[in-house]
Structure 1
């Protein structure tokens, strides 16, 4: 009944109050927060990079570097062990993960195996279980030849170790830049994600991150002229390296390093007191100082090379022994270059090269614009929904609007407590929740109206309305929640932010509908004791409708089938305008520093760079242009080189507001993830509906949902709107919304099947659709009002997302009536499948007639 105990009332309002307090810092300025007492919450929702600007970079550790290093090390170990044991050999070589060596004397083969046996011993992985991994195997190929194989598990172990070490090196490098709250985390087995909010110079960050920074000191080999070594064959113990100068200068350098950067304890940028040029001073630890002193003492008068990543920085002559353990590196540095080198040396060397495989950079100006656009869209969407609910329900609309406002506050509070990151798609999720949260209130109100219209006293109508609506709302929202969970686990970046916001919104919606709204309505009834519903409810226009929906099912089926087939044929022949998320390439948003963007000039400048297909188009306002660059054939490094070339051409006249680069490896993974995501969501929802209903309902819901997805894809083919990662989020949300609508209709059909077992199925389906028609239309209108505000005022970045959602809501409403329902007739659903519901109006006799 409509009774709330005192403790339950206190608990409800304490929850609401706590959420208001936790969410409050998000509406306050830094100065206002500082003035508040220390006990007051100060945490806020973290803004994503698309809202505050910054860089998101995904780095991939190069497995080939690890294999090459292990191969060289193992070849060296084989050489030294055979020499130490006096075993003669020929043909020692290594290719890929295979090393071959031929023992000259067949009688020494067994001795060679014993000498090389330590290389095959297991290496401890350092885990709690004390596991070991065999990195090398030996096989006797006959005729004196031994074959050593680097195992895959050994390489995997080395890659994992290198990744762990790289994360720490990257963390130290980013921290040296002085940026606040960078996010550095591992992804998968060979990736590192770096997110630096508020970063103004992403190019500098990339140059710091993908440079190995392996510093070594070598003696210069003066035994032969360097040009002779280049033209002929250099000594086996030396190699030719080039300087960083322009043009580069060759040096013949001994391969064996005197000392490496591992012994450095400090490096700082400073100025040479004589020349006032920027230099980098360094200091060794005690062991390094001792080795450096010995090396310089033994080689006074000879040049030595300071080498960074196989490039000679400088090659000074040792005038006297350097015994203090410190020195300086000069090399025509700029001030920033000296600072960056000092950062690299202090942070340490990477064990392998890190390649940028994905980059998403947003300038602070665009971030501020996105915040304003999101807030504007949210406010306008909220005003439209609030106004519509007031118009439709009067006083009950006020209650619903208060519940929706509390719902938004609770979403912000939960996101704050979770430490979630709010992105632009996340704001879209909140705006969408505003539209969909009204659905719960509409379901409840319409059920109350129906019960009251059927002759129940108002108190019973209210109580029954809440009780009967509960199962329907839970079923409907759980399908959307399943889609959100799949989005979270299979999505990435902003898509996951949208999924979190949507999931939190679903949970808070159920809470506000069945606690807050119910408490307010119960309090209103207990104080006023009204005999009828409050005035102002204007949704009776659908009462008593008797639309014969099923009479048109053959025509709607035929039209939908034709459109679906046309969509699939167009998809297979024409294809969609895939964004860079799925085909790789780059998107650059630039804004002219003066006047309007000159698209013809941009195309002319960039066409000279030989980067393949380049498109430039207006974007939003006349000052802004969007540049699309096709995927480069040279892989990830070629993508980064293309961005550097474009910056060099346009940076003088344009501000780079947004840069997105997706390499071929990432785009392939995103395509696979997106496909798996849609299929996994459909499978999970199919299982849930099958459990909650009957198999006919499950198949009907999936067929209707596939219909919506196929038509949405057809729309993208027809219009040429870009299909990107955010659009996948929209498609999965359409799946959730369509099923939400379908489950509401199915729930009423299930109830009527228990009540009217003799009624022909087409008539029963028509009755169920007519009974839920007001809810279907009201929910669609409120959701589309919120989405329309997002589409018009939310900005260009999420326009394709909201475009898909608007179409999805319309087609989802259609399919729940004209696809999902008629499928039950095709599958010959029988009323006998359902047990009698003693707690419902199913206690009526089988001969009861429905008023359709």
Structure 2
């Protein structure tokens, strides 16, 4: 219990630093500006679900990138053939390569070295030597040029890097503040824009490749008939017409020098004024001079923006694009043209947006439920431990403040699930205090003096605290590893909470309790409840009723498995993909009218969920066939139908998850659960014995099946937040088992001759109060969130409350019997093996 003065000063410095780091997060913006020069700390960054904004994940089209490279490789090959006076028609694309058929051996010998020059080296990962981008091989008369894996990877890397810069330019040019644009994975880009409620313009801005070109129209072609060679029938971007466009590019979009929004002086309508570079200006002058009276098409991404008639030669290299644009549309188009074309198409595979009103509601809800949960835990600690409970509450307050401070220091983003993680951390942080106080009570009852009881209580509780926190941390780390977005924010807050609770509970609370004992010169350290001395709990024989307990648990688990198949889980769009829109109206929403409007869209199954007093509705539409683009088209149809059916409605939240992302999220979620169980198995095996580890996993499987059955029975969304609840419940369940196991291990050393069944009963009776109190604290912290937290966190809070109850009862009634069975089976197996070996040994 001795602590050096320097250590105490270090602890005080850490606490002061943590409190100062948290201060900017609770100050108003005006107050933050006043103290900015004194406090060099930033407030916690709020996620988009709290402040509103749009979140999109874009994927570079690998197939399109490869196709474009093959076309350019074909052009290069034909250029080489023409340079060597060999027929260029012998080169063609075959599958994923370019093949050249040259019967003449002399021609092959001339061409082959030139073609091998196309195989430029590209850098590879690590320190490996550069690899060729193209592999050139010969087989008889045929020369094959195929893209290598290194070449494709290099192309993808360059395409993503170039796309990042172009997207950043486009976003900057439309004036969005504080954008987050970063690469994720090998071929994806994350774009988060706060405050942008409707991402329609953003989707147009980012999803367009902006490949612009200028073509002449062939007026002799009938657009209702198949197009002749050299002519493409293209749709109009705004008017719904079809245009016969010559395939030959008159002027490439690469010749554009600038584009900006303007207004037509005659109609006062927004237009886009553009200008060419010097070469483009000369080409534009020649074309307009030679084609007076003919229509001239401006084509963007395969659609005709406008097709004006050339009335006179345009010599200044300037032009104008008109087409009944709104100011926003003209701004987006000019930004696209200025930033240049993307190297490959980008597909929006995930889209989420939250309106600022819903974000502010989420902040208020988080503060309210957090304070309510914190208050309930504080009251519980005072009821259980009286004045000593207030010391634990001081540690709890410091734990919460320092968690917020560290979140700001590391630049982490606080999301709604992150708030849930802080609230849950409050409930779980008192576990160490409950363990310590229970141990001190035991030592005091055994006759130890005040300082000795304090010393032994902390020492004996320390190993259990470490074991229980490590097992909880295992699931949280995997959640961070495999999770995404807000779920990752939950994992960060949980990991920080676990680490900080170790400091506040073991260090700060210990120093405060020691100071009280020393200053009051206490001879005996008693920790009564608020209502006086704690009565001794009766002793139960849990092993006598083990068959009934295991049978009832097995019945519930089997029923849960049946519920898993029938009616099954209500999978959220995170796992099955699809569209989700939350619409809010000032008037009561007429659901039958809205349902009819949505069913007329023929988008498949549509589900409506009414909440918020009939003024809010959650609309779910199944995943659409046809890939990622089909989801975006369907979302626009849903929004139009909602606006028509509910005049004045606002879209407070939209989510679009395509089939690619939903499949990945499902695999990652279930893999995280499996790996968490494996990590826990190995840790318990390492810290205890094999039958303790196997017993813990067996009980854990029973707990998980019951929790899954709870999801199926209640119909609560099974989404990424639910996976977070499942992983947290796994950590909590094992936490409970470890506390029981630690006491069993301690008693095994102390009572070596006691029957194992009696030792299990004694160990459970010794820790049953801790199990119940910790569960009560955790459940109480979650109850406000479950009742008032809203749809976004209810799929976390209610299953966690159920999981806490299941984990506690299984620790008391199921873990011991399974451990007893495994121990007896192992002893009987060892006894049989020993008897067999003695029988085989020949007598002397």
Q: How does 1:488-637 map to 2 (within 5 A)?
A: 488-533=480-525, 536-537=528-529, 541=534, 543=536, 545-593=538-586, 595-637=587-629
Q: Given the alignment, which residue of 183, 199, 202 partners 1:202?
A: 199
2:264–2:271 CA contact under 8 A, matched in 1: yes
Cα distance in 2 for partners of 1:591, 1:333 equals: 29
1:90–1:103 CA contact under 8 A, matched in 2: no
Q: Given the alignment, which residue of 241, 247, 268 partners 2:260?
A: 268
Q: CA separation of 1:49/1:9 partners in 2, compared to 1, >3 Å: closer, same or farther?
A: same
The Cα of 1:381 is off from its aligned counterpart by 0.8
Query: Which secondary structure state, in structure 1, belongs to the residue aligned with residue 68 of structure 2?
Result: helix
Cα distance in 2 for partners of 1:113, 1:619 equals: 71
1:239–1:255 CA contact under 8 A, matched in 2: no
2:173 matched to 1:176?
yes
Cα distance in 2 for partners of 1:591, 1:244 equals: 32
2:761 matched to 1:761?
no
Cα distance in 2 for partners of 1:396, 1:556 equals: 36
2:664 matched to 1:669?
yes
Q: Given the alignment, which residue of 183, 198, 208 partners 1:186?
A: 183
Cα distance in 2 for partners of 1:662, 1:251 equals: 37
Q: How does 1:128-143 map to 2 (within 5 A)?
A: 131-142=129-140
Cα distance in 1 for partners of 2:101, 2:232 equals: 26
Q: Which runs of 5 or more residues in structure 1 are unaligned?
A: 833-852
Compute the RMSD of aligned alpha carbons: 2.5
Cα distance in 2 for partners of 1:111, 1:795 equals: 73
Query: Which is worse superposed, 316-325 or 9-18?
Result: 316-325
Query: Which secondary structure state, in structure 2, belongs to the residue aligned with residue 687 of structure 1?
Result: helix
Q: CA separation of 1:232/1:184 partners in 2, compared to 1, >3 Å: closer, same or farther?
A: closer
Q: CA separation of 1:565/1:37 partners in 2, compared to 1, >3 Å: closer, same or farther?
A: closer
The Cα of 1:750 is off from its aligned counterpart by 0.7
Query: Which is worse superposed, 533-542 or 487-496?
Result: 533-542
2:239 matched to 1:246?
yes
2:472–2:735 CA contact under 8 A, matched in 1: yes
Q: Given the alignment, which residue of 681, 701, 709 partners 2:704?
A: 709
Q: Given the alignment, which residue of 474, 479, 489 partners 2:471?
A: 479
Per-residue deviation, residues 320-349 of structure 1 (Å, max 9, x unmatched) = 665544433233322222111111112221
Instruction: Name the structure 1 match of 2:117.
Output: 118
Give the structure-2-normalised TM-score.
0.93
Per-residue deviation, residues 471-520 of structure 1 (Å, max 9, x unmatched) = 11111111111111111011101110000000000011010012110111
2:805 matched to 1:806?
no
The Cα of 1:318 is off from its aligned counterpart by 5.1
Query: Which is worse superposed, 314-323 or 173-182?
Result: 314-323
Cα distance in 1 for partners of 2:628, 2:770 equals: 51
Cα distance in 2 for partners of 1:175, 1:131 equals: 39
Cα distance in 2 for partners of 1:673, 1:228 equals: 49
The Cα of 1:198 is off from its aligned counterpart by 1.3
2:178–2:194 CA contact under 8 A, matched in 1: yes
2:122–2:133 CA contact under 8 A, matched in 1: no
Cα distance in 2 for partners of 1:89, 1:23 equals: 70
Instruction: Name the structure 2 match of 1:5.
Output: 4
2:223–2:244 CA contact under 8 A, matched in 1: no
The Cα of 1:299 is off from its aligned counterpart by 6.2
Cα distance in 1 for partners of 2:782, 2:52 equals: 25
Q: How does 1:442-461 map to 2 (within 5 A)?
A: 442-461=434-453
Cα distance in 1 for partners of 2:313, 2:758 equals: 101
Instruction: Name the structure 2 match of 1:841.
Output: none
The Cα of 1:129 is off from its aligned counterpart by 5.3
The Cα of 1:187 is off from its aligned counterpart by 1.5
Cα distance in 2 for partners of 1:156, 1:790 equals: 46
1:62–1:353 CA contact under 8 A, matched in 2: yes
1:124–1:131 CA contact under 8 A, matched in 2: no
1:138–1:149 CA contact under 8 A, matched in 2: yes
Cα distance in 2 for partners of 1:128, 1:799 equals: 46
The Cα of 1:22 is off from its aligned counterpart by 1.1
Cα distance in 2 for partners of 1:4, 1:231 equals: 89
Q: CA separation of 1:139/1:162 partners in 2, compared to 1, >3 Å: closer, same or farther?
A: same
Cα distance in 1 for partners of 2:47, 2:750 equals: 52
Query: Which is worse superposed, 487-496 or 286-295?
Result: 286-295
Cα distance in 1 for partners of 2:546, 2:267 equals: 88
Instruction: Name the structure 2 match of 1:20.
Output: 19
Give the structure-1-normalised TM-score.
0.92
The Cα of 1:15 is off from its aligned counterpart by 1.6
Per-residue deviation, residues 69-120 of structure 1 (Å, max 9, x unmatched) = 122222222333223322236564325413344336576444443453333x
Instruction: Name the structure 1 match of 2:778.
Output: 783
1:314–1:330 CA contact under 8 A, matched in 2: yes
Query: Which secondary structure state, in structure 1, belongs to the residue aligned with residue 540 of structure 2?
Result: coil
2:685 matched to 1:690?
yes
Q: How does 1:348-427 map to 2 (within 5 A)?
A: 348-427=340-419
The Cα of 1:297 is off from its aligned counterpart by 6.2
2:57 matched to 1:58?
yes
Cα distance in 1 for partners of 2:617, 2:34 equals: 43
Per-residue deviation, residues 678-722 of structure 1 (Å, max 9, x unmatched) = 111111111111111111211111112121111111121222222
Query: Which secondary structure state, in structure 1, belongs to the residue aligned with residue 584 of structure 2?
Result: strand
2:300 matched to 1:308?
yes
2:637 matched to 1:645?
yes
Query: Which secondary structure state, in structure 1, belongs to the residue aligned with residue 443 of structure 2?
Result: helix
Q: CA separation of 1:730/1:270 partners in 2, compared to 1, >3 Å: closer, same or farther?
A: same
Q: Which runs of 5 or more residues in structure 2 are unaligned?
A: 828-844
The Cα of 1:575 is off from its aligned counterpart by 2.2
Cα distance in 2 for partners of 1:377, 1:751 equals: 39
Cα distance in 1 for partners of 2:233, 2:596 equals: 41
Query: Which is worse superposed, 490-499 or 353-362?
Result: 353-362
Query: Which is worse superposed, 16-25 or 404-413?
Result: 16-25
Q: CA separation of 1:306/1:825 partners in 2, compared to 1, >3 Å: closer, same or farther?
A: same
Cα distance in 1 for partners of 2:130, 2:292 equals: 47
Query: Which secondary structure state, in structure 1, belongs to the residue aligned with residue 543 of structure 2?
Result: helix
The Cα of 1:795 is off from its aligned counterpart by 1.5
Q: CA separation of 1:148/1:227 partners in 2, compared to 1, >3 Å: closer, same or farther?
A: farther
Q: How does 1:26-41 map to 2 (within 5 A)?
A: 26-36=25-35, 38-41=37-40
Aligned length: 823
Per-residue deviation, residues 575-634 of structure 1 (Å, max 9, x unmatched) = 2111111111111111123x2111111110000000001011212321111111111111
Cα distance in 2 for partners of 1:503, 1:293 equals: 65
2:279 matched to 1:281?
no
The Cα of 1:176 is off from its aligned counterpart by 2.2
Instruction: Name the structure 2 match of 1:719.
Output: 714
Q: CA separation of 1:506/1:831 partners in 2, compared to 1, >3 Å: closer, same or farther?
A: farther
1:542–1:774 CA contact under 8 A, matched in 2: no
Cα distance in 2 for partners of 1:282, 1:128 equals: 45
1:696–1:829 CA contact under 8 A, matched in 2: no
Instruction: Name the structure 1 match of 2:841.
Output: none
Query: Which is worse superposed, 821-830 or 163-172?
Result: 821-830
